[in-house]
Amino acid sequence: MEKKMRDLEDELFPSTPGKVKIERAHAMNRQFHRCFASTSTMFLWALFLIALTASYLSFQSFVDTSSKYFTASWGGLHWERQVRASAIPRRPNGFSVLVTGAAGFVGSHVSIALRKRGDGVLGLDNFNSYYDPSLKKARKTLLASHGVFVVEGDVNDARLLAKLLDIVPFSHVMHLAAQAGVRYAIENPNSYVHSNIAGLVTLLEACKAADPQPAIVWASSSSVYGLNEKVPFSESDTTDRPASLYAATKKAGEEITHTYNHIYGLSITGLRFFTVYGPWGRPDMAYFSFTRNILQGKPITVYRGKDRVDLARDFTFIDDIVKGCVASLDTAEKSTGSGGKKRGPAQYRIYNLGNTSPVTVPTLVAILERHLKVKAKKNIIEMPGNGDVPFTHANISLARRELGYKPSTNLEAGLKKFVKWYLSYYGYGRTNAGKNL
């Protein structure tokens, strides 16, 4: 018993001084090594995870880039052959024209008109969803039936533009690609800056670097006249009071094109369109949406200006606009630069393309009612502050004198043609939709 007590005492209170300290030191040392080993392991794991993440991100970037490359809608020998074949003129001394926004309303009409007379035409369009892309796809099919190939791409794609201008020595560029519409700018202002300013600059950069430099005709807008109250609107009027962001981007475009003309010798013609309408038109336009709603029995909204004054527009039929566009190409002088260097002064022009016969919106509605044989349900309200102007009226004397521009279709005749197309395209008539432009 006594021995057990001593053994227990020795165990609890050892006779060797420092024994506990040594054992404790060994224990602490072991724990330190364990902790150090654990920290090192964690550090190594952290390094491994960082490296793995970096590798994944690099690989993902490579995959994304490769995916974009391999899924791009342009490139390759077959694609290049299509581009060249579409751009080759069919008539002696014919033009080779790059038409941007070719699947759009004006773009498709201009492209077909040029093709019919034997010019080479290559289209470019990004098929965005501002309005129903199926209408743009239908226009693309129509263009293909006339031998016009449309490249799916954006005017902001500098690499694509450089490639196209390298494959084909275009004599002209008809720049019609733009973000259209006055009211949509309130919802999506960045799209206007992206398309109408950045896209224009990207195109001009590509054209000034091309050899030969093409002559450029592009779509400005009657919206640049903004709050101008002098009528009819003339090209010499001041345009420094835009009423909408859309108008401001078009005004900026006029200043930008003047700069490229002055510095790089690009031949540039700007066309101020006045409310273009007709078959294959834009669904966001009033006459188009009025037609849809009248046929569907839905009410239409008719805006009035201050003091209950009816809004009026200088409605211009698409065929007349096309004649003005083609005449602008025909009278455009060659650019004077080469590879981005100017050799002499270059042509710079701006023209109004309108009908010079403004018609009130209620009159427009009455004409549609006659052709549709349906009475419209109208909600008449005061025009909101959304950038619209109360009236437009074109002075076309300059275009008449220098381009031979003579609009020949009044609103009654033009809307009759539009309604016939609309009923056919959307299946209200017996004829097949989309066969004729």
For residue 296, which of 144, 164, 422, 159 has the smallest C-alpha distance? 422
What φ, ψ does residue 434 adopt, rounded to 5°? 80, 5
Residue with tokens 């960082």: 50
| Distance in angstroms (rounded) separating the CA atoms of residues 212 and 312 | 44
Which of 276, 285, 286 is closest to 318 using CA atoms?
276
In 3D space, the residue among 234, 36, 285, 69 whose CA is nearest the CA of residue 159 turns out to be 69
At CA 177, angle to CA 88 and CA 110, rounded to 5? 50
246 catalytic residue (yes or no): yes
Distance of CA 346 to the CA centre of its chain: 27
- Report whether 407 contacts 355 (CB < 8 A): yes
Tokens (6 digits) for 88: 């080759």
**Side chain identity at 2, as an amino acid letter?**
E
Gap between the Cα atoms of 418 and 422, Å rounded = 6
Name the one residue in this structure whose structure tokens are 């074109």. Answer: 394
Cα–Cα nearest to 124, from 89, 82, 93, 94: 82
Q: DSSP labels for 312-379?
A: EE--EEHHHHHHHHHHHHHHPPPP-EETTEE-S---EEEEEE--S--EEHHHHHHHHHHHHT---EEE
Q: Which residues contact 274 (CB under 8 A, 6 or more apart)?
A: 222, 313, 314, 315, 316, 352, 353, 354, 355, 392, 394
Task: Check 192, 225, 246, 264 and give the catalytic one.
Answer: 246
**CA–CA dist 203, 219 (Å, integer):** 13
Q: Which two tokens stand for residue 262?
A: 């002055």
Which residues are identified as catalytic?
246
